């Protein structure tokens, strides 16, 4: 009897122990379950070309984008995500589907991703902040996840790639960098002359009219940035791209740039989801190229919009690039194009190996409509089209057009920033100009005008 009672008592204790111990929640959920996206504001400063980031409430839904097939990056991602969730417990971690499948077993909390079922919700409806670990290609890939959205969440990038010209932060600084972005906009970190009651909406999202910061939160305790500090933002312009048939009919874009289905109607809380707007956005460039065919491409370049559209020239070349200032240090630079500062609102037209020696690169205002038309004299069957390095599976035939113009990043006549890619940059001071990292990148990474025969 005593032995039976003892066994029963031990079993009961084990059952109580199992009941008291919470199970590890290794699960993947749809981002449809997340709260709606928080749209930040961007405040201009009197003596700084960069913008000041202002969150109306703490960011909650954080998208992590990593470089693939890189063990150090994967280890860094594990360290980074555990820090964010443990230090800022109200945050939700969002990953791309493949990454979520690989990483969710390491967490005792659910992770979120997009799903392919009927409840599919695009990233731009839920993601408050995007953070990348990798090189420039990783940043371009992260931007492509929002290629159909008119408003992109801020991007915090850590340089862990080959070049890292666009990446502003070194990974060892991730705790300070994330803290500075997270609390940017907290009432204690804003100057009294810039209250949170009148921020710009930072995009096409709902305008914030009051602060929603909690009065007391463990995530904010001890993290004030001071009375006048806020994270600095460089607003990078994008290209707006449409593809048209010979009859002028707009053609749909292919994945990963496909738009939501027409059944997903635009609503006040879902301003980006407009089925009638089928243009996509590119951070670097759009490329038309002859591809594998041995014949040069014949492309007519038209400037302006009808009825004031004028023919610039017919390019006979391997291909043609239209780039943003951000893309001026990418393919365009290798093709002989100019280097343009990202704050200069412009379009770059760069021929690739043109037949004529007098065909030089051009720089146009960003609001200039540019049309590239495939000529009937083009001897190749198709012209390949790539957007930010992603090639369209179906090429363009004679008579088809690619229409491009710069994205409108500011609402005309106002100070409301409505487009672009808000890139978090390092700042040298509170309201000071700080270090221009674009110049540092030219000298340190691209070795601008570097003398031959010198080590460095």
Q: Which is more confidently placed, 436 or 247?
A: 247
pLDDT value for 325? 95
User: What percent of the chain has pLDDT above 90?
Assistant: 54
Model pLDDT for residues 390-441, shown as the tens digit of each residue: 999 989 999 999 999 999 888 776 777 888 999 999 865 443 444 567 787 7
Q: How far apart are CA 128 and CA 61, in angstroms?
A: 5
389 token code pair: 């390095």
**E-strand stretches of 165-323:** 232-236, 239-244, 280-282, 285-289, 297-303, 310-323
Minimum mean pLDDT among 96-100, 234-238, 277-281: which range? 277-281
pLDDT value for 353? 94
Q: Considering Cα of 153, then 154, then 156, then 162, what sign does the dihedral take?
A: positive
Residues 6+ apart with CB under 8 A from 445: 163, 164, 165
How many CA atoms within 13 Å lie on the side-chain side of 191?
A: 13
Residue 88 has pLDDT above 70, yes or no: yes
Q: Which is more confidently placed, 454 or 123?
A: 123
Question: Would you say 156 and 425 are in contact if contact means Cβ atoms under 8 Å apart?
Answer: no
pLDDT value for 228? 53
**Tally of CB atoms within 10 A around 6:** 10
Minimum mean pLDDT among 191-200, 305-314, 442-451: which range? 191-200
Using CA atoms, how far residue 393 sits from 46, 241, 255, 317, 347, in Å, is: 47, 16, 9, 21, 25
Minimum mean pLDDT among 136-145, 210-219, 347-356: which range? 210-219
Q: Average pLDDT for residues 36-57, to the nearest whole number?
A: 87
Q: How would you write 316-380 as a 3-class SS string? A: EEEEEEEECCHHHHCHHHHCCCCCCCCCCCEEEEEEEEECCCCCCCEEEECCCCEEEEECCCCCC
**Helix, strand or coil, per DSSP, at residue 77:** helix
Q: How far apart are CA 329 and CA 430, in angstroms?
A: 29
Residue 49 has pLDDT above 50, yes or no: yes
> What is the bridge-based pairing of β-strands 129-134 and 155-159?
parallel
Starting at the edge strand found earlier in the chain, the sheet holding 48-54 runs 28-30, 111-113, 92-94, 61-66, 129-134, 155-159, 421-425, 232-236, 48-54, 41-45
Q: How far apart are CA 174 and CA 169, in angstroms?
A: 8
Could you give the maximum distance between any two Cα atoms of the chain, in Å?
A: 104
125 token code pair: 């409806």
Residues 6+ apart with CB under 8 A from 440: none
Q: Average pLDDT for residues 214-229, to the nearest whole number?
A: 56
pLDDT band at 188 (very low <50, low <70, confident <90, very high): low
Q: How far apart are CA 100 and CA 125, in angstroms?
A: 19
**Tally of CB atoms within 10 A around 67:** 20
């Amino acid at each position: 009897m005593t032995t039976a009672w003892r066994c029963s008592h031990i079993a009961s204790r084990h059952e109580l122990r199992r009941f008291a111990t919470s199970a590890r929640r290794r699960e993947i959920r749809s981002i449809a379950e997340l709260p709606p996206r928080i749209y930040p504001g961007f405040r201009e400063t009197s003596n700084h070309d960069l913008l000041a980031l202002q969150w109306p409430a703490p960011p909650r839904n954080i998208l992590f984008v990593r470089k693939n097939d890189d063990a150090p990056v994967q280890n860094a991602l594990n360290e980074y995500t555990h820090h964010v969730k443990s230090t800022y417990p109200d945050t939700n971690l969002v990953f791309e589907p493949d990454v979520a499948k690989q990483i969710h077993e390491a967490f005792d909390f659910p992770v979120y991703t997009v799903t392919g079922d009927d409840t599919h919700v695009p990233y731009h409806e839920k993601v408050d902040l995007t953070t990348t670990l990798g090189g420039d290609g990783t940043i371009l890939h992260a931007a492509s996840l929002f290629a159909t959205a008119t408003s992109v969440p801020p991007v915090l990038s850590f340089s862990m790639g080959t070049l890292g010209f666009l990446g502003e932060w070194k990974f060892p600084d991730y705790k300070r960098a994330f803290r500075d972005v997270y609390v940017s906009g907290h009432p204690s970190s804003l100057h009294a002359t810039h209250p949170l009651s009148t921020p710009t909406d930072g995009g096409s999202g709902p305008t914030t009219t009051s602060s929603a910061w909690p009065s007391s939160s463990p995530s904010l305790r001890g993290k004030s940035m001071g009375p006048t500090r806020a994270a600095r933002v460089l607003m990078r312009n994008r290209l707006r791209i449409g593809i048209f048939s010979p009859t002028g009919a707009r053609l749909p874009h292919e994945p990963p740039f496909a738009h939501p289905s027409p059944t997903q109607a635009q609503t006040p809380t879902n301003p980006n989801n407009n089925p009638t707007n089928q243009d996509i956005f590119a951070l670097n460039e759009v490329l038309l190229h002859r591809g594998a065919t041995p014949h040069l491409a014949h492309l007519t370049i038209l400037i302006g919009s009808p009825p004031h559209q004028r023919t610039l020239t017919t390019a006979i070349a391997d291909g043609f690039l239209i780039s943003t200032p951000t893309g001026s240090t990418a393919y365009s630079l290798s093709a002989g194009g100019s280097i343009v500062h990202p704050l200069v609102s412009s379009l770059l037209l760069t021929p690739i190996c043109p037949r004529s020696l007098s065909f030089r690169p051009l720089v146009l205002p960003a609001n200039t409509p540019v049309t590239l038309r495939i000529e009937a004299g083009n001897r190749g069957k198709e012209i390949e089209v790539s957007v930010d390095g992603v090639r369209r599976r179906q090429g363009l035939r004679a008579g088809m057009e690619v229409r491009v113009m710069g994205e409108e990043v500011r609402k005309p006549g106002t100070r409301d920033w409505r487009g672009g890619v808000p890139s978090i940059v390092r700042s040298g001071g509170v309201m000071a100009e700080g270090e221009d990292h674009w110049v540092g990148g030219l000298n340190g990474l691209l070795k601008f005008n570097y003398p031959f025969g010198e080590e460095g």
